[in-house]
């Protein structure tokens, strides 16, 4: 089945460590996105990429980094510079010609 996968579903890390969240899609979508969601809040855009080897910062990019070396993959690294990394992270993708965004199941990151 086509879709977006994020792994793992739950991730625990110690403060000061970098951590990379995986996002893979087999929908052949051009654009991919990373959002962060805190409890009771909406989604905030971290980074997005409209094409391979290109990406743009969203509203809260500080402390995060991404790469887009392949069309189907858009990993997000949460660096030690991110002050409050504990959150629910959502990846999404969209076909260039479609207005509909598809979301993955999310990764809940806890940093202690």
Partner 1 sequence: DAKTTQPNSMESNEEEPVHLPCNHSTISGTDYIHWYRQLPSQGPEYVIHGLTSNVNNRMASLAIAEDRKSSTLILHRATLRDAAVYYCILRDTGRDDKIIFGKGTRLHILP
Question: Of 71, 74, 76, 75, whose CA–CA distance to 27 is shortest?
Answer: 71
Is 64 near partner 1 (CB under 8 A)? no
Omega of the bond leading into 72 within 30 degrees of 0 (cis):
no
Tokens of 104: 């993955």
How many contiguous H segments (helices) and E segments (strands) does the chain have? 0, 11
Residue from 11, 27, 43, 61 in contact with partner 1 (CB under 8 A): 43
Residue from 19, 29, 35, 85 in contact with partner 1 (CB under 8 A): 35
Q: Which residues pair with 99 in a beta bridge?
A: none
Is 41 near partner 1 (CB under 8 A)? yes
CB of 19 to partner 1, least distance (A): 19
Binding site for partner 1 (CB under 8 A): 4, 31, 33, 35, 40-45, 48, 50, 56, 58-59, 88, 90, 92, 94, 99-106
């Amino acid at each position: 089945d086509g879709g977006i996968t994020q792994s793992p579903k739950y991730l625990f890390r110690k403060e000061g460590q970098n951590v990379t969240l995986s996002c893979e899609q087999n929908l052949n979508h051009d654009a991919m996105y990373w959002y962060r969601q805190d409890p009771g809040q909406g989604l905030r855009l971290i980074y997005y990429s409209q094409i391979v080897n290109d990406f743009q910062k969203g509203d809260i990019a500080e402390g995060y980094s991404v790469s887009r070396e392949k069309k189907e993959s858009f990993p997000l690294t949460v660096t030690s510079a991110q002050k409050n990394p504990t959150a629910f992270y959502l990846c999404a993708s969209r076909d260039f010609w479609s207005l509909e965004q598809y979301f993955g199941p999310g990764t809940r990151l806890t940093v202690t």
